[in-house]
Amino acid sequence: MLPMLTYFVYLMGGAYILAGINHFWHEYFYVKIIDGFLPYPRLLVYISGVAEVLCGAGLLFPSTCKAAAWGTIALLIAIFPANIRMAIQAPQFHISSIILYMRLPLQLVLIWLAYLYT
């Protein structure tokens, strides 16, 4: 593995941990994304937050990194429809629709980065 990738996994793991914790700090924001789209939005926000924290933590340890990378890929695929919905309904989130649509291909980059650790 390239030396840069050896250290990047720690940055990636930390970012996913913080993103997962953010699901609990700003639960209302995440619920708003999926409310009326999927059943039990609050429960899904909690589950996805825990999943992000677990994936991020798993990336930090060599013994769990590969499984966590696959979990991260699965999580990114699972949340993609919610990100599409958010882009379509951008005005209600007070975020530029351009930014939200640009984020969609970024998701493919995140999947590729996680794949590097499988």
If we measure between CA atoms, which residue out of 42, 48, 41 comes closest to residue 21?
48
Structure confidence at residue 6 (pLDDT): 82
If we measure between CA atoms, which residue out of 56, 68, 46 comes closest to residue 18?
56
If we measure between CA atoms, which residue out of 116, 84, 99 comes closest to residue 11?
116
Largest Cα–Cα distance in the chain? 45
User: To the nearest whole percent, how much of the chain has pLDDT over 70?
Assistant: 98
pLDDT > 80? residue 70: yes
Q: Domain spans of the chain?
A: 3-30+42-115
pLDDT > 70? residue 37: yes
Mean pLDDT on 9-31: 96
What gap in Å lies between CA 10 and CA 35, rounded to an integer? 33
Q: Are 34 and 78 in contact (CB under 8 A)?
A: no
Structure confidence at residue 2 (pLDDT): 65
- Dihedral angle computed from the Cα positions of residues 63, 10, 83 and 37, in that order, rounded to the nearest 10 degrees: 50
What gap in Å lies between CA 105 and CA 118, rounded to an integer? 21
Residue 84, exposed/middle/buried by CB under 10 A (0-12, 13-18, 19+)? Answer: middle
Structure confidence at residue 88 (pLDDT): 93
Mean pLDDT on 2-30: 93
Structure confidence at residue 5 (pLDDT): 80
pLDDT > 70? residue 1: no
pLDDT > 80? residue 113: yes
Please, which pLDDT band fits residue 79 given cuts at 50, 70 and 90? very high
